Structures are given as structure tokens and as C-alpha cells.
Structure 1
């Protein structure tokens, strides 16, 4: 378990790589209803500047967040995403990886005694090292319980 006090600005981790497939794009289109021709129509895309179909930005975002989700921290939950930017297209056959770094630690605005907020900068890069997506993920994280708030076990519980 990682409490708010355990986070450090500058902590980094990187995901494994994942190659984006046509199946990923088709499945995402079906799940979201986004059948925009830039994702689905190879003939249309052949006449466009990029010349090929591209993955949905929301697909790349979802894949990146999933790739970074290594272990469950029961003391934190996602609060949301800020400054999401789709910088370059991702094409079928591109391999992406996500890099994350804690860039800010702040008190929760309404309950600073209970929670902190960790801001994690996420950059998604392709196989050429080009940044294709950038965002800030925000976590709400429990603060470490103080000794005075920890409840001692009852006599009955301590007998076992």
C-alpha cells in the first residue's frame, strides 16, 4: 500500500510495449460507436495526408493507462485526467509504451487531513521515441492514518 506521504516528485515508471492492431481499432469503434472514416475506411484514408487509418486517440489513452496499471494501490483512486493532448497519430502496426512521472503533490482541496492528490505526467511514445499522446493523471490518495486514529483490537480479537 502506498499512502500519500510515500509518493515522491520525480518517481518514474515505464510500461511494456504494445503493438496496435486493426482488431484493437475495430473493437474500440464498436465499444464507443466512433466509426469515423479516419479510423475505419482504408480507401478514404489513402486519399488523406497520413495515407492510412489511425487509432482513435481515446483508444491510445485507454491502452496507455492500462499498460501503466501494474499493481493495485488500495489507498488511491483515479480522480481524472487533465491536459490530454493527441500529439501525433498512431497507426496499425505502431508499438506504443507509456512513461509516467509524479510531477506534483498537493493537499486535497476539501479534505486535506484525509487525502492528498498526486499528479502524474504520462507521455505515450511510439517505436521511434516520438511522443504521440500526453496527459496528466490525477490520483486521490489516502493519507497515512495517524497513531491516534488507529483503533486497537478488542480483547476478544487479540485472543485469536
Structure 2
């Protein structure tokens, strides 16, 4: 029996594409919280090649006044990856690319901490056929402390004429 409306992979998506003009300053894009586990520390150490004992040796960390292993700075920053949240799904086919990123590491993040990332549109700079979307990144820990902030910039298409 043939389906009345056959499945089409290109229609299997979050929703319709949102264009540069559909975004507003102050619009927030949540990213799910994530607890920084020992496995995440090990995976980041393996991927980055950063083998400093502050990231894997608890006794080394305690001897230097830390309560546990200290997360790599970039391990914290990647918790704000837009693809871990809904932003790229909301803008869909209008996303051209990720242009740049900055981060400030404000407080330590330890193994076992849970991080709560958020991206918020802070500036919209229109061009002729595209625009640059600047997003403020904030990452808080389970105590509500801001541990990292920064900025992301994305190139997004304007609505086709």
C-alpha cells in the first residue's frame, strides 16, 4: 500500500528555516546543562593532547589548593557549542558558517561540576545578502556562578527575494 504522503528526508527537520531578519537582539538560545565527568576530562585530554597534571592528577590538584581536577579552559568553552542547542536548528538552511569565537575563563570548573551554557543575540549586523549574528556566551555552574563568558559570530543568509 503506497503512502499518501511519502517520507522525504529533506523535510525531517526542527522546523522552517529562520533567516537573519527573523532574529532579534536579546533572543536567547538555551543549551542543555552538562556535568563534567571524568570521561569528559579524559576524552578532552586525548583530543587536545594537553597532558598537564592539573587536568588528571587529583593529588597534584589538591596539593595546589584545588578541590578536584581542574577542567581544561577549552573544555569549558566548548560547552557553549551552538550545535549542542537549538540555534542551528532554528536557523536551518540560512546558516553559512561560524566566523569567530572568544572566551574568558572567570572561575575554576572542576570534575563533577554541572555547566549551564546560554547564547543570546547581542548584535545583528546586516550586509547585502547576509548578516553577522553576534551571540553573547555565558556559562554558569550549579551554584549560579558565572565561570566563562565570551562571544560567537555566525554568518547567516538574509531571506531570499
Structure-1-length-normalised TM-score:
0.82
Runs (4+) off by over 6 Å: none
Q: Which of 117, 123, 133 is the matching residue for 1:118? A: 133
2:51 match:
35
- The total of aligned residue pairs comes to 141
1:67 match:
84
1:6 aligns with 2:25: no
> CA separation in 2, counterparts of 1:15 and 1:90?
18
- Report the alpha carbon displacement of residue 63 of structure 1 after superposing the two structures with TM: 2.4
Runs of 5+ unmatched residues, structure 1: 147-160
Q: 45-54 vs 90-99, which deviates more? A: 45-54
> CA separation in 1, counterparts of 2:86 and 2:62?
35
| Secondary structure of 2:93 counterpart | coil
Structure-2-length-normalised TM-score:
0.81
- Report the alpha carbon displacement of residue 71 of structure 1 after superposing the two structures with TM: 4.7
> CA separation in 1, counterparts of 2:63 and 2:146?
25
| Secondary structure of 1:44 counterpart | helix
Q: Confirm or deny: 8 A CA contact 2:30 2:86 kept in the other structure.
A: no
Give CA-to-partner distance per residue, 1:98-135, whole Å, 9 cap, x none.
Answer: 1121010113xxxx212100101010010011111111
Q: 25-34 vs 66-75, which deviates more? A: 66-75
2:99 match:
79
1:143 match:
158
- Report the alpha carbon displacement of residue 64 of structure 1 after superposing the two structures with TM: 2.5
Q: If you compute each CA radius of gyration, which structure gives the higher value, 1 or 2?
A: 1
| TM alignment of 1:16-35, pairs within 5 A | 16-35=32-51
| Secondary structure of 2:21 counterpart | helix
